[in-house]
Amino acid sequence: MKKTIYLIVLYVLFFPLLAWAELLPMEEFSLPNGLRVIVISNHKAPIVKQMLWYKVGSIDEPVGKGGVAHLLEHLMFRGTKNIPDSGFNEIVARHGADSNAFTSTDFTAYHELSDISRLEVMMALEADRMVNLEFEPEAFKAERQIVFQERKQRIDNNPTAQFGELLNTMLWQKSPYARPVTGTEEEILNLTPADVRSFYQTYYSPANAVLVLSGDINLTEAQILVQKYFGSITKKTPKSDKDDADERERLSAGKYHTTVQMQMRHPEVRTPRVVRQYLVPSLKEDVRKAYALMVFAQYLGGGDSSFLNKELVLSGRVAAAAASYSLLSRGAGVFAVSAVPMRAQTALKTETLLSQAVQQAMNALDKESTEKEKQKILSGLVYIKDNPSDAAMLVGQMAALGFSLADINAYEDNIRQVTTEEIKTIVLDMIENAPSVTGFLLPAEYAATTTEND
Amino acid sequence: MFKASLKNKWLTALANIAVLAVLICAVRTAWLVYHQQGLDVDKIFAESMLKEKSFTKMPVEIKTPLGINFWLIEDHTVPIVAVSFIFERAGRAYDPDKKTGRALIAANMLVYGAGSRDRQDFQEMLELNGIRMGFSAGREDLSGMVITPTVNQSTAFTLLRDALTSPRFDLADLRVEQTQSAEALQIQQENPSSVLNLAFAKEIFGAEHPFARNPLGKEEDIFNLTAEDLYDWLKSSLAKDVLIIGVAGDITPEAAASAVDGIFAALPEHNANKDIQSPDIKFEPRVKHLERDTAQTIAVFAAAGTERFAPDFYPLYMANHVFGGSGLTSRLSLKAREKEGLTYGIYTYLSTDEKTPLILGQFSATPENYPLLQKILQEEWQAFARNGLTPEELETARNYLLASYNLRFDSVAGLADMLTAMQKYRLGLDFLQKRNDYVRAVTLEQVNAAAAKYFSVQPVEMHIGQGNNMAKDD
């Protein structure tokens, strides 16, 4: 009784706060087998996005088995005990759903956007392939060739993608994040069906997954359906559910404290690019610092009125500049700045300008500009309520990192609480101490180190 | 003995029957269990708890007090409003010779300051209010969009009006834009796909036709552009007689009408650009090669297609869906990707523009696979013209189109864009109510007639890569 009154008082006290602080109308439940389910209601149209996130990605691959997470993702479309061969794709097509999947360093996600009347079919298919994967040897061979061709198409046909891969290797050094998500050519071509099956057995299970249902569905409906299709799947202790400290140790690259500079020349490159990436705390590692860095990224390079654009581009000192911060990782986050030099200028000079601008931005930041940048982020949050797929993407990623719904819904509060001092502290630490890589992508004949009068 | 024996025999027989019965039962149970474990997808769908619903918010046509027509879908579920619009005859192809790049740069610069606000003020106003505004110079149309939180709509509409009617085109901003366009031209040359597509447009439309121009313009033209050129574009292009508007989201018809008047009423009445003649496309089959040191050979191809409002649009659309349009389940994908693993992707799609109705396609693969893919494409193309679709393929395509109907309603911006597209392609205000009937009415004869008509001639193909190892054309 006392407790109830206490709760009511709390509710009354905090209700206005909660009302504006809610990012999305979400609820969650878990099955006894460990599957975590999040329901995001959006009743605009009779459609629903189903997204099944497995907390496994390329950083979990055994050494030498690069690309196995990605190849497995492909093979998940190549048959189960119940739906052999291309049956999955045929059923999805017949039911008008848009289905796809992706593999990243941290996660593997499968998703279907469908009419609500087809959700149950999609759910049956997704539950089925969580446990019943069974592909033919021919399908395996074909799919291994397909991922090989995918790597050729995405990376080898594109000098900037090759540059990105090199930067990544040097930034992360010995961390599993240094390896390409696709695996190397050699690794891909040597993967076996046994490699894929073993990875599947180890990591694909209800307790290592988060299911997001976003759209025209409510909690009760979701509970009935998820129980019906996923409820009978046996509980399995997930391998990746290890001690957080161990996981951090394994993924950490910060311990190397390296600062790397590199140049890549390529005959097809026509105009130089300069990129610097820093390893910084991710949202998982430090919530306060992550939100501070998010606001700083917005201030530095978040839009046309950003500091880099004003100081470097609109003033005619570099041709283009940008900043970004990727924070939704199980390991460290990456803060990146980049620029394209003016034609009359060397890449080296541009790199100096870029470094100075980051420092100046930090120095120039005051309470007024901090509040403005926070306002810019906050005023756009409403859009996450629009497209059910966008909501499923953001929430799924955060939930797969282990954040609670309260954590996710506190997005707005967390932005509001960021102070100028917090930003300055973390940015100074980044500039002075963070492991980093500075890369120059250059035309084959380019003289990057030419001195100039300036 | 005899009796006993007889009895025994009888008993044995009975026992046998019983055993048999038990066996039959067991097999039957096993069969049932097996099939219960299997997935009866049709049954799951038929007994599905969540039943079909229709999206009930249908578009209405509104004439504003100042006489502008627009379409609206009112939907108050999310507190945002989107206004999508197209100005026809305002796109890149209407740039005069020597002024290529004009529409693209002008469109980009519409959000770089207007009226009393310079670029910084204007952009900061958008960002602080969570307003997303952008313009895009397409081949023939200028399209634009503003999306705003409902609470900031009046600011959004004022800024959009200013962008369309009193953009600043400040010299310093023009210089930045010219520099960035020139850099984009360089970066374009780094990408084998872009190089291929530029050359292919020339091959298809003819080198001199405006549709064959580089979308970014020529470097010398870009650097010669002046603010006056941009104002010429504005005055001659953004007029009410070529304007199409779609509004969607958290806004009433009255508020929407007043917003549309406020934004667009001050624009000139008439667009002054002379209509561009359709290109004279020669569809004689041929294969062209561009030499370049790439990891994969990339190929694009084109054949004659049909317009969006032509009577055979749906038959061809469904035929293409089966042939190469449906992703992993298309004939091309099943044969070239799923079965053989020759490519990461091979697909076809329709360009339904009135002036260039085309079937277009693309694939890429390492050089040794290229001839095999080209052979598959040629053989499948020919077989499709000759034999058409199976009834099952048509039903799968039909089911896909019917069942995916509601997916188009996923975002407010998407709704507004859909409304402009419906008007541009003259689909009618009741298109959404009729669309599934159009799909249901398509017969196998119609689809096969479309396949026979449009796939009878092999496509024009161009590829870029190392060595000219094309398959023999025999």
What HEC string does A74-129 produce? HHCCCCECCCCCCHHHHHHHHCCCEEEEEECCCCEEEEEEEEHHHHHHHHHHHHHH
Identify whether the C-beta of residue B446 lies closer than 8 Å to the C-beta of residue B394.
no
**Which residue in chain B has the smallest CA separation from A373?**
B128
Look at residue A389 and tell me whether its pLDDT is greater than 50: yes
Contact A116 B409 (CB under 8 A): no
CB neighbours of B126 closer than 8 A, spacing ≥ 6?
B111, B132, B133, B159
- What percentage of chain B reaches a pLDDT higher than 90? 89
pLDDT at A445: 86
Q: Of A211, A243, A275, which closes a domain? A: A243
Same domain? A211 vs A327:
no
Q: How far apart are CA B353 and CA B310, in angstroms?
A: 11
Task: Look at residue B391 in the predicted model and tell me its pLDDT.
Answer: 98
Measured in degrees and rounded to the nearest 5, phi and psi for residue A9 equal -60, -45
A interface test, pick of B34, B51, B53 with most A CB neighbours within 10 Å: B53
**Chain A residue nearest residue B414, CA to CA:** A387
Using the predicted structure, report yes or no on whether residue B4 has a pLDDT greater than 90: no
* Cβ <8 Å between B77 and A43: yes
Model pLDDT, residue A240: 53
Q: Considering CB atoms only, which of A46, A113, A302 is closest to B55?
A: A46
User: Is A95 in CB contact (< 8 Å) with chain B?
Assistant: yes
**Tens digits of per-residue pLDDT, A221-233?**
999 999 999 999 9
Q: How many angstroms away from the CA of B120 is the closest CA of chain A?
A: 6
DSSP string, B296-346: SEEEEEEEE---TTSTTHHHHHHHHIIIIISGGGSHHIIIIIIIT---S-E
Query: B52 is written with which tokens?
Result: 């079909």
Q: Is the CB of A149 inside 8 Å of chain B's CB atoms?
A: yes
In a domain, A1, yes or no: no
DSSP 8-state secondary structure symbol assigned to residue B405: G
Reported as a pLDDT band with limits 50, 70 and 90, residue A4 is very low
For residue A276, the SS3 value is: strand
Q: Which of B15-19, B48-52, B232-236 has the lowest mean pLDDT?
A: B15-19
A126 and A232 share one domain: yes
Rounded to an integer, what distance in angstroms lies between the CA atom of residue A214 and that of residue B88?
Answer: 37
Q: Residue B116 corresponds to which amino acid?
A: S
Query: CA B371 to CA B473: how far, in whole Å?
Result: 11
Among candidate residues A213, A243, A273, the one where a domain is terminated: A243
Report the mean per-residue pLDDT for chain B. 92
Sorted by sequence, the CB contacts under 8 Å of residue A63 that are 6+ apart come out as: none
pLDDT attached to residue A243 = 59
C-alpha pair distances (Å), B130 with each of A276, A381, B345: 29, 8, 37
Computed over every residue of chain A, the mean pLDDT equals 91
pLDDT of residue A238: 65
Note whether A82 contacts B39, CB cutoff 8 Å: yes
CA-nearest residue of chain A to B131?
A380
Question: Which site among B404, B417, B435, B463 would you substitute to test the A interface, given the most A Cβ atoms closer than 10 Å to its Cβ?
Answer: B404
pLDDT at residue A19 tops 80: no
Are residues A188 and A288 located together in one domain of the fold?
A: no
CA–CA min distance A266, chain B (Å): 10
d(CA A127, CA A230): 6
Per DSSP (E only), the strands in A281-357 are: 318-326, 333-341
Is A146 close to B341, i.e. CB distance below 8 A?
yes
pLDDT class for B227, splitting at 50, 70, 90?
very high
In a domain, A78, yes or no: yes
Nearest CA-CA partner of A184 in A201, A202, A169: A169
SS3 content of chain A, % helix, strand, coil (to 5): 50, 20, 30
pLDDT in tens, B280-338: 999 999 999 999 999 999 999 999 999 999 999 999 999 999 999 988 999 999 999 99
Q: What does the pLDDT look like over B192-213, one tens digit per residue?
A: 999 999 999 999 999 999 999 9
- Sign of torsion, CA B10 B13 B17 B22? positive
A290 and A215 together in one domain: no
Neighbours of A6 (CB within 10 A): 10
> Could you tell me the pLDDT band of residue A374, with boundaries at 50, 70 and 90?
very high
Say if the Cβ atoms of A95 and B402 lie within 8 Å.
Answer: no
Q: Do B409 and A224 touch (CB under 8 A)?
A: no
Residues A41 and A120 both lie in one domain: yes
**Same structural domain, A193 and A216:** yes
ipTM: 0.91
Indicate the residue type of A373. Answer: E
User: Does pLDDT of A81 surpass 90?
Assistant: yes
Q: Contacts of residue B123 in chain A, CB cutoff 8 Å?
A: 303-305
A43, B366: Cβ pair inside 8 Å? no
Subunit contact A82:B37, Cβ cutoff 8 A: yes
- pLDDT surpassing 80 at residue A254: no
CATH topology of domain B287-465: Cytochrome Bc1 Complex; Chain A, domain 1 (3.30.830)
Q: How confident is the model at residue B370, as a pLDDT?
A: 96
Structure tokens at A423: 């930003």
Residue A449: the pLDDT is: 53
CB contact under 8 A, A157 and B294: yes
Q: What is the mean pLDDT of residues A243-268?
A: 78
Query: Is residue A442 a contact partner of residue A347, using CB atoms and an 8 Å limit?
Result: yes
Q: Compute the nearest-CA separation of A141 from chain B (Å).
A: 8
Q: A192 and A44 in one domain?
A: yes
- Give the pLDDT of residue B467: 79
B75 → closest Cβ in A44, A304, A378: A44
Q: List the beta bridge partners of residue A111.
A: A51, A100
Residues 337-356 of chain A with CB under 8 A from chain B are 340, 342-343
Asked if A303's CB is within 8 angstroms of B410's CB, the reply is no
Phi, psi of B80 (to 5 degrees): -140, 155
Structure tokens of A356?
């100075």
| Domain end point (choices A217, A243, A269) | A243
pLDDT at residue A236, as a whole number: 85
Helix (H) or strand (E) holding A33: none
Share of chain A above pLDDT 90, in %: 86
Domain identity same for A236 and A269: no
Which is nearest to A58 in space by CA: A201, A251, A281? A251
> pTM of the prediction?
0.92
Which pLDDT belongs to residue A160?
Answer: 95
Per the model's pLDDT, the better-predicted residue between B23 and B367 turns out to be: B367
Intrachain domains B60-264 and B287-465 with the same fold: yes
A382 with B149: Cβ contact below 8 A: yes
Is residue A350 included in any domain, yes or no?
Answer: yes
**Contact assignment for B51 to A159 by CB distance below 8 Å:** no
DSSP bridge partners of A101: A110
Is A128 an interface residue toward B (CB < 8 Å)?
yes
> What is residue B17's predicted lDDT score, i.e. its pLDDT?
58
Choose, out of B76, B127, B129, B417, the residue to mutate when testing the contact with A (most A CBs < 10 Å). B127
A253-257, B12-16, B174-178, B464-468: the lowest-pLDDT one: B12-16
Residues A228 and A307 in one domain: no
Q: What is the pLDDT of residues B300-309, one digit of tens each?
A: 999 999 999 9
Comparing A248 with A42, the larger pLDDT belongs to A42
Which residue of chain A is at minimal alpha-carbon distance from B152? A379
CA distance A133 to A82: 9
Task: Find residues 190-209 of chain A whose CB sits inside 8 Å of chain B.
Answer: none
Does residue A255 sit in the same domain as residue A353? yes
Q: What is the residue extent of each domain of chain B? A: 2-34, 60-264, 287-465
Confidence of residue A442 (pLDDT cuts 50, 70, 90): very high
Q: Is pLDDT of A7 > 80?
A: no
DSSP codes joined into one string, B3-65: HHHHHHHHHHHHHHHHHHHHHHHHHHHHHHHHHHHS--HHHHHHT-SSPP-------EEEE-T
Query: What pLDDT score was predicted for residue A21?
Result: 57
For position A209, which CATH number holds?
3.30.830.10
**Helical packing angle, B431-441 and B313-320, nearest 10°:** 70
Q: How far apart are CA A45 and CA A22, in angstroms?
A: 21
| Interchain CB contact of A319 with B (< 8 Å) | yes
- B278 to each of A186, B90, B243, B357, how far by Cα in Å? 50, 16, 21, 10
Q: What is the pLDDT of residues A104-158, one digit of tens each?
A: 999 999 999 999 999 999 999 999 999 999 999 999 999 999 999 999 999 999 9
Q: Angle B391-403/A87-94 helices, nearest 10 degrees?
A: 60
A193, A45: one domain: yes
CB-based contact A316 B51, cutoff 8 Å:
no
Give CA–CA dist A393/A100, Å, rounded: 13
Based on the domain organization, do A103 and A128 belong to the same domain?
Answer: yes
Domain enclosing residue A378, as ranges: 248-443
A351 vs A199: CA distance, rounded Å: 42
Mean pLDDT along residues A292-307: 95
* pLDDT bracket for residue B22 (50, 70, 90): low
Instruction: Summarize pLDDT for A344-373 with one digit per residue, the tens.
Output: 899 999 999 999 999 999 999 999 999 999
**Overall fold of domain B60-264:** Cytochrome Bc1 Complex; Chain A, domain 1 (3.30.830)
Residue A16 has pLDDT above 50, yes or no: no
Average pLDDT over residues A52-63: 96
| Yes or no, beta carbons of A91 and B41 under 8 Å apart | yes
The number of CA neighbours under 13 Å toward the Cβ of B166 is 12
B124–A305 C-beta distance less than 8 A: yes
> Order of strands across the sheet with A47-54?
A26-30, A36-41, A209-215, A47-54, A108-115, A98-103
- B-chain CB neighbours of A159 within 8 Å are 190
Is the pLDDT at B472 greater than 80, yes or no? Answer: no
